Amino acid sequence: MAAPEHIERIELHRLRIPLKVPFVTSLGPNNEADNVVVVITTRNGIIGFGECSPFWTINGETAETCLAVGHHLAKALLGHDAVDLEGAHALMDRLIFANNSIKSAFDIALHDIAAQQAGSALADHLGGVKNTVLVTDYTVSIGAPIKMATDAVDIVRDDFTVIKVKLGGDGDLDIERVATIRDAIGPMIPLRIDANQGWDPETAIRVLNALGHFNIQHCEEPIPRWQFMELRRVKEASPITIMADESCCDHHDAERLISMGACQRFNIKLGKSGGLFKARQIIALAEAASMEVQIGGFLESRMGFTASAHLALTSTAVKYCDTDTPLMFTADPVEGGLRYGPHGELIVPTEPGLGARLAPQWLASPAHVITA
């Protein structure tokens, strides 16, 4: 059993970085990443880093709420054994319901400490699989069909091998969007589509059948999350595989969707699940149900997506990665961490722990410092 690593100091940092161009989904535009970084130091001097990217329209959190709730979480966790992940989650969940985004930042930092103490890279510490190549897609924001097709051509020229396309709203326009992209890039490069809850069930069925011949790997969250009881009907009528995203936040959601036969795949995001601890429970459920999963995210920097990449190496059920948003930032605040290779390949650090940290110039003015 690992020796205790009692928490002595916790810092909360707000991390705001403009995007090169707006990132637009059916839920609206995003012009910047507005994230929160958690830095945890133990009495033995081990420092762990974690990050979350609160998404108003999906998890109901903002940077401001994360900082406020994070202050309370930090006070509760002072003196706790950082290696006791289950106990830390029980403590956080007793203190406040939901708030999975900020909880995920604490979870990542605690995992970073636990893996450093064990002397292992995080993926290895979590029982990672070997000889797995991770490849990310690159995303086309929703917009006019011609603009989306132009963006898709640029992505192909940048040597990415899979393209994700944001849709949702007017069904006929969405069909035109995909058809125009296919005309521009040809039939071979796989597409992934994401409606972000943008269709009603009837529209989803109609659009998915119209797009069935366009070499589409899956469709994420075609209908509103609160209509999850309709998801199985959409799945059974669709020639395109259905992936639950907003309707699958934690392992309880995953268990419910599996029991309903609602979808064939899950999109796991640490900011939805509350971190690695519960995300791994989703993966275990998917494995037992012979389901494939995708590891995605919000607007995290390379720090948050480094944790996601380590998670992706823990199971052969992980077949897809959607971890491209750090490439959209105007600045990179991270030292070490995940790197992007040719064709969208993800190169995961092998040093002990997470292998990513916030660069010193971004650590100058923490919003909160909580010490024992």
Pairing of strands 242-244, 216-220: parallel
Nearest to 195 by CA among 366, 16, 27, 14: 27
Q: Which of 194, 253, 292, 324 is catalytic?
A: 194
Establish whether 269 is a catalytic residue: yes
Burial (CB < 10 A; 0-12, 13-18, 19+), residue 161, is middle
Q: Which of 103, 164, 235, 269 is catalytic?
A: 269
The token pair that represents 97 in the structure block: 């319901």
Nearest to 241 by CA among 258, 259, 261, 220: 220
Establish whether 272 is a catalytic residue: no
Q: Which of 51, 220, 221, 300 is catalytic?
A: 220
Q: Give 139's strand partners.
A: 164
**240-270: b (≥16 Cβ within 10 Å) or e:** bbbbbbbbbbbbebbeebbeeebbbbbbbbb
Q: Which of 221, 245, 292, 322 is catalytic?
A: 245
Nearest to 122 by CA among 360, 337, 331, 343: 337
Establish whether 194 is a catalytic residue: yes
Q: Which of 103, 164, 166, 272 is catalytic?
A: 166
Taking 3-state DSSP, the helix, strand and coil percentages for the chain, each rounded to the nearest 5, stand at 40, 25, 35
Terminal-to-terminal C-alpha distance of the chain: 25
What are the Cα distances from residue 150, in Å, to 143, 154, 184, 351? 11, 6, 8, 39
Establish whether 245 is a catalytic residue: yes
User: Which positions are annotated as active-site residues?
Assistant: 166, 194, 220, 245, 269
